[in-house]
Amino acid sequence: MSRNIPNFLYEKLLKQYGEQITKQIQEGYTKNRPVTLRVNTIKTNYQNVKNAFDNLKYNAQNVDWYKDALIIENISENAIRQLDIYNNGEIYLQSLSSMIPALILEPKQDENILDMCAAPGGKTTQISAITQNKAFITACEKNKIRAERLKYNIEKQGTTRITVLTQDARNLDSFFSFDKILLDAPCSGSGTINLYNENLEKIFTEELIQRSVKTQYELLKKAISVLKSGHEMVYSTCSILKEENEENVLKILKTGEVEIAPIDENQFKKIPLLPVKIDGTICVCPNELYEGFFIAKIRKK
């Protein structure tokens, strides 16, 4: 069962979740998930996209908690990339779990919003679509090649109010001030592990986790400093390890500057959730539909 899973990760999961849940997580790692995508409502609507797939005789299923998401059975991402609706930017290939943070952020029109680690742009353009292209979004990406990819996706999706900054969000000038912030932080990826990756032992290391924790906390501190008082941010990772998730959030809570804005679990009733150490945060369990993902909503006092 523990094919290719690094021993130290197995031990971590066992310690954090116990045997039964660890088995469940390992089972989730082995699943081949169907293609999932988001309808780009800046260019089209759900029904048009649903009809396009129906006409092609593909089974497109809706998602209970998100009216603009679809699950497409028996098709590969490569096949989707050949379709006009993909090339026109009417849809965006995106995992279901990674659609949750932008929904929890609840972006509104005319707000100034920061996306701190924006490439390749799935969540950035999702925020834009949710606000009907009427929020002012600053998207940070420190890697030049990834920043180009981000710009390409922004243009393809038809969003017009996004400013891309090719810089490390940790170095943002302190004169910036935002209504809302999305920090989908770089992480170990412990929620999205591919057990069939032959290089897993080399890629997924204890050192990667420690490096991620340090970067995440630095980004969190910067986020709080440029968030307006009384306003909210979302912190998310595609990790299911407490040191990257709850422990980082607890450290920032101890500063006394912020508090948890509880996420309403009823909004995501059918999503498989793991136990968390902080009430009001959620951690998605990897399974046949979802990747592992942690989300916390934080309010600056």
Active site residues per annotation: 238
Query: Checking phi first, is residue 110 left (phi over 0); if not, alpha (psi -120 to 50) or beta?
Result: left
Q: Which two tokens stand for residue 288?
A: 């046949």
Give the single-character DSSP code of 271: S
134/107 Cα distance (integer angstroms): 10
On whether the CB atoms of residues 31 and 96 are closer than 8 A, the answer is no
Burial (0-12, 13-18, 19+ Cβ within 10 Å), 83:
middle
| Per-residue exposure over 236-249, b if at least 16 CB sit within 10 Å of its own CB, e if not | bbbbbbbbbbbebb
Q: Where are the alpha helices (DSSP H) in the chain?
A: 7-17, 19-29, 46-55, 77-80, 84-87, 100-105, 122-130, 144-156, 200-203, 206-226, 246-253
Locate 203 and state its tokens.
Answer: 């890629």
| Integer Cα distance of 19 and 180 in angstroms | 38
How far is the C-alpha of 158 from the C-alpha of 176, rounded, in Å? 26
